[in-house]
Structure 1
Amino acid sequence: MAKGNEGPAAARCGYLDRLPERLVVEGFRRWMAGYDTGDIQCWELAWNLYAKALGPKQARSAMAELSCWVRAIRASSARSMCLFPYGCGKLCRDECMAVSMVACVQHRDNDALVAAATQLIGCEHIEETVDTARSFGEMLDSIGQHLIPVPRPVIEDIAMRPGRERFH
């Protein structure tokens, strides 16, 4: 990202230091990279992250929900996703919208969930993406991986920032 436009304050102050957010963002990045490159190592990296953090049993359940969510995003999206490489400590706009979706599920903020999904997908066909985000968020919640709330005004602020073509 360009200097001075580093995304939301949370991304600058250790947001990804929190395990729940890191699992969502890094899982999203790695799973999308697997689809984009066709390289199974990307998915193995996602598995290794989840298995190390959660243990194999919980990782299996979380990975199943993650894969359904990412597949729905890819199938529903009117455009390609623009993501930072895995391990990057910053979040781009698409990543902010993705993690916001899961956080909104956990905090039962349906209005913000719809706003984030619409921004991420780029069209009105968000039903499958929202449904799979619900399953993923609820699964993470059930194993104690609670994300920080992201209210709709924050989602709207992120959506108003300069377009992705300026930074990627």
Structure 2
Amino acid sequence: MRQGRRDGFREFAAGRSGHLYRSACLLASGDTHLAEDLVQETLGRMYLHWGRISRVDNPAAYAQTVLVRAYLTHRRRRSAGERPVGELPDTSAVAAGGGDPALRMTLLQALGRLAPKDRAVLVLRYWEDRSVEETADAMNVSSAAVRTRCSRALARLREQLGGSLSAFAEF
């Protein structure tokens, strides 16, 4: 029985880790090291409770929720010894889908200037294509809070990017 659960988790982790990593890169504004840590923490939490989690309707959505909450927890407890850097690290792992790397970097930098919760709501709503209710559940806030935060975060992005997000629709 345990071997079957372990194999089920291995299959799940192998199938979802790439998607989790891409989402984590967006949440971490291109910081690939932090993204790897977030994915590892997410999969570790999932493994501990896999017997229960494997029976939910959508373990992939559950994993995304765990990832977002791990990211928000990380942002709250950020060590005083950490220092932000002026330039983003190489994000070639994020650029797996082609497109214009300069546009991608500009968008990652703009996302990096947003507050962590603003960034999380945009990633969930527009990268993960979640509904307002699903995003609210993942972030443990009300639907109204998601709509408000999303509207304000998009306005901040428009200010930073010169008023038009249409050039970044390919991202």
- The TM-score, its normalising length taken from structure 2, stands at 0.30
Greater RCO between the two (CA within 8 Å, min separation 6)?
1
- The TM-score, its normalising length taken from structure 1, stands at 0.31
Q: Which has the larger radius of gyration?
A: 2
